[in-house]
Structure 1
Amino acid sequence: MDFVTIGKNYYCGYRMELCVRNDAGALAEKAANEYFKIIYIESETLHIALNKNFYILTGANVICLNEQDQISFKEEPKDNIMILFFKPFVINNKFCSESFYNQEKLSLSERQDLEFLNQFQHNCSDSLKIRQLYTSIASVIKQKFELLSQQLVLQNSSYWPCRSRSYLLELLFVLNRFEEESPVLVPQQQKLKYTKLTEELIDYLQTCYNQKFTIESLAKMFHTNRTTLLKEFKQSTGQSITNYVIEFRIFVAASLLRNTELAVSEICERTGFHDMSYFSRVFKKKIKLTPSKYRNLIKNNTCQ
């Protein structure tokens, strides 16, 4: 069978190459070889073979596979597994197989969006495809899987394709973490090595960017004090924690503005700003345009 969601309540018959399955057997279906896959799995101990290499996984893990990757399990997991099947053009209709592996015809913003799919490239090592998750990050990723699955099943508004795409984007934000370095976004692993505290804090901030927190609550969470937290983060990244989070939220918001038709107010909430006037002000300060004007500019450039 195809891994497609069919429109029912809205856009009847519309085919979206995106679905969530809860059985490992789906990976063995012939059509699965045409899709990218994100696998979320929880297990005490799990033996897998990925591209003829063998691994033992424990706890919560995410595995990212392209259409050529081959995975098998020594014993098929029956519980706590969710598999997201999608094709790259669900994110952007220019992300066909030709542009995915040859980016010359893509705009700068489109190439930035394509960076979210780095771990699906054919030359990506297995070590970047498998990611063991901290408990706090695992719960966020699991929730996003569940929200996406519910949206695809319920289709309870005309925005269901848009919201489904936005949940996919949010998953990719978390799985392929980026750090802003003007004017181009570069993968975090290419940056200078951070201290363990800073690395763990960045993992948390880039996963839970839409949640409210204080410096005191972060210090308590990471078993340190406010002074050490602020000093170590600033020394490692060159930024304050507050500025880092704001810039990352803007980065996420800009991608949602480019790739979805969600209302600006919903994007404001989803990215953790919660106040439209503040969101517009900081977005314009960073991007030099209001969110609405930025979206219109991208649309106009795409149509040309």
Structure 2
Amino acid sequence: MQDNTAWFDLDIYNTLSTFDTVFSKDKLHLLFIRKGVMYVNIDDKKLILTAISIFCFNGRENFAIQNKCNVEVTRLSFSPNVINSSFTVDNIHDIPSNFSKTDRLDCLCLQPFIHRTGQYIGQIEVGLKQIDKIDFLLKQIMDISENVYFLNKDFIYRSAILELLLIINQHSSKVLLCNNTMPNTDNSTGIEDVISYLHSFYSHNITIATITRNFNTNRTTLSKKFKEKLGVTPIDYLNRVRITKAALLLQESNMPINQIMIKVGFNNRNYFNKVFKKQTGLRPGEFRRNYRSIV
């Protein structure tokens, strides 16, 4: 019989600690990345996981952490039979013909852990207004898991996970613009260090001169390495990160566009509009009208 109990930890991991990379094959796994950058391999892909986001994967996928920079991560692993007693990782991946309509509907809430497309790789950018809610739910799950005598433990535990899954499913449909896959190579060129820097400090005033000075390189070498590995220049990559953050704020907040522009690192509205339209096909105001959530 499969274990109904979730495995949960609330440790904070950083570059000096050892992240437990043993992920059970019969569970679904969630990483809530609050800070920093992680480089992971999942099956044949190398991904950049950045804050603030959730990464969902399942035990059938081969997952390994390659590198991390100033990372704070909460990890939650749970059996799919928490949602439906008939579920296993295998049968929600390859749905059997004898599943009832209710079973199939229940499967939908677990799709972010299973379903992959060219655009969705398992990572979900989290809006600022959801961070406290996610923290609360993870803390609630931890408290329930640690308290053997918690009244109505199974019911409250399942409710907390369902609420967390609702947030994940709502965010998995957001329009995200930054492709976080990269060539599956080592960091001998130092590109990963630069990428981590850009993801961590995108809101700062960063120029090519800033990057070359911080990483003891020159403009030509830096641009060549980026073009070879990622197909774009360092500033193009930085702008892609910034526009992704801006797009999320436009979808999830009432923040004025000028304030969003400054928050993500731009200081010129015309340039911001130009870069935003180049990446999305829309001006910021048009994007907000088309894709905004109810806020």
Query: What is the TM-score when the length of structure 2 is the normalising length?
Result: 0.52
Correspondent of 1:35 among 27, 48, 51: 27
Residue number among 17, 20, 23 corresponding to 2:5 in the alignment: 17
Instruction: Specify every segment of 5 or more residues in structure 1 that has no aligned partner in the other structure, as ranges.
Output: 5-14, 179-186, 191-195, 205-217, 225-231, 246-304
Secondary structure of the 2:99 match is coil
Q: In structure 1, the residue corresponding to 2:166 is in which secondary structure? A: helix
Q: CA offset at residue 66 of structure 1?
A: 0.8
For residues 159-178 of structure 1, the aligned pairs below 5 Å read: 159-177=152-170
Question: Per the alignment, do residues 143 and 189 of structure 1 end up closer, same or farther by CA in structure 2, a change over 3 Å counting?
Answer: closer
Cα deviation, residue 28, structure 1:
2.7
Distance 1:125 1:150, change over 3 A: farther
Q: Structure 1's 52 and 105: CA in aligned 2 closer, same or farther, altered over 3 A?
A: same
Number of equivalent positions: 192
Structure 2 equivalent of residue 72 of structure 1:
64
SS at match of 1:176: helix
Larger Rg: 2
**Over residues 150-197 of structure 1, what are the superposed CA-to-partner deviations in whole Å (9 max), with x where a residue is unaligned?**
11112453301111111111111111129xxxxxxxx9579xxxxx99
For the 8 Å contact 1:48–1:72, the answer to whether it is kept is yes
CA contact (8 A) 1:49 1:72 kept: yes
Tell me the distance in 2 between the aligned counterparts of 1:151 and 1:135: 26
Please give the residue correspondences for 1:202-281 in structure 2 after superposition, counting only pairs within 5 Å. Answer: 219=254, 222-223=255-256
**Cα distance in 2 between the residues matched to 1:91 and 1:144:** 16
AA at the equivalent of 2:84: N
RMSD of aligned alpha carbons: 4.0
Aligned to 1:56: 48
Q: Report what 2:129 is aligned to.
A: 136
Question: Judging changes above 3 Å, is the alpha-carbon distance between structure 1 residues 77 and 18 closer, same or farther for their aligned structure 2 residues?
Answer: farther
Aligned partner (choices 86, 89, 103) of residue 81 of structure 2:
89
Judge conservation of contact 2:54–2:125 (CA < 8 Å) in 1.
Answer: yes
CA distance in 1, matches of 2:85, 2:50: 36
Conserved? CA contact 2:127–2:248, under 8 Å: no
Residue by residue over 1:54-78, the C-alpha shift from the partner in whole angstroms, topping out at 9 and shown as x without a partner, is: 2333322211111122222233578
Question: Residue type matched to 1:46 in 2?
Answer: M
Structure 1 residue 141: Cα displacement: 1.5
Q: Cα distance, 1:26 vs. partner?
A: 6.6
Tell whether the 8 Å contact from 1:38 to 1:85 is kept in structure 2 after alignment. Answer: yes
Shift of the alpha carbon at 1:108?
2.8
- Corresponding position: 1:109 with 2:102: yes
> Does the 8 A contact of 2:39 with 2:68 survive in 1?
no
For 2:174 and 2:87, the matched residues in 1 are separated by: 24
CA shift digits 1:193-219 (9 cap, x unpaired)? xxx9998687x5xxxxxxxxxxxxx75
Deviates more, 1:100-109 or 1:110-119: 100-109
**What is the rounded CA distance, in whole Å, between the counterparts of 1:189 and 1:16 in structure 2?**
31
Give ranges in structure 2 of 5+ residues lacking alignment.
Answer: 176-244, 258-285
Q: Name the SS for the 2:25 alignment partner.
A: helix
Write the letter of the residue equivalent to 1:109. Answer: T
Structure 1 equivalent of residue 216 of structure 2: none
Structure 2 Cα separation of the partners of residues 68 and 17 of structure 1: 19
Q: TM-score, normalised by structure 1?
A: 0.51
Secondary structure in 1 matching 2:110: helix
> Percent identity among equivalent residues?
18
Say which of 150, 160, 168 aligns to 2:143: 150
Give the structure, 1 or 2, with the largest relative contact order (CA under 8 Å, sep 6 or more). Answer: 2
Query: Contact (CA 8 Å) 2:28, 2:59: kept in 1 or not?
Result: yes
The answer to whether the 8 A contact 1:35-1:85 is kept is yes
1:216-239 deviation line (CA, Å, top 9, x unaligned): xx75xx438xxxxxxx99x869xx
1:122 shift after superposition: 6.1
